């Protein structure tokens, strides 16, 4: 599966891990990973360690998730990006909307 989730025992942190291609084919799985999450109560991290590819639909999915979680007030981090994915995020100026490590 391209999208997996894990959370801390206290439920205060959610990690969504992406593997393989982060594209339109995983839109439903990605949405299921965060629907029902209250961003005021949960820190959300997107772990891109295993992501090999990302397209424009993935950028849209990240923006939709951010909006769903409260927009600019939502604290969402993107971590462990491969250089080619980091470059896409930088060119798209996602560093203005997300914390990217």
Residue 39 has pLDDT above 90, yes or no: no
Q: Per-residue pLDDT tens for 80-89?
A: 999 999 999 9
Q: Where residue 18 sits, what CATH number does that domain have?
A: 3.30.750.24
What pLDDT does residue 49 have?
A: 97
Helix (H, G, I), strand (E, B) or coil at 52: strand
Q: Per-residue pLDDT tens for 43-58?
A: 899 999 999 999 999 9
Q: Is 53 in contact with 23 (CB distance < 8 Å)?
A: yes
Confidence class of residue 37 from pLDDT cuts 50, 70 and 90? confident
Q: SS3 helix, strand, coil % of the chain, rounded to 5?
A: 40, 35, 30
Residues 6+ apart with CB under 8 A from 14: 5, 6, 7, 33, 34, 37, 42, 43, 44, 45
Residue 29 is part of which domain span? 3-100
Name the domain count of the chain. 1
């Amino acid at each position: 599966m391209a999208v997996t989730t894990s959370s801390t025992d206290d439920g205060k942190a959610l990690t969504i891990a992406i593997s393989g291609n982060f594209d339109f084919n995983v839109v439903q799985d990605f949405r299921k990973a965060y629907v029902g999450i209250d961003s005021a109560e949960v820190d959300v991290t997107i772990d891109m360690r295993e992501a090999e590819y990302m397209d424009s639909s993935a950028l849209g999915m990240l923006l939709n998730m951010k909006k769903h979680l409260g927009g600019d007030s939502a604290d969402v981090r993107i971590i462990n990006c491969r250089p080619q994915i980091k470059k896409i995020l930088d060119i798209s100026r996602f560093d203005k909307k997300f914390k990217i490590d």
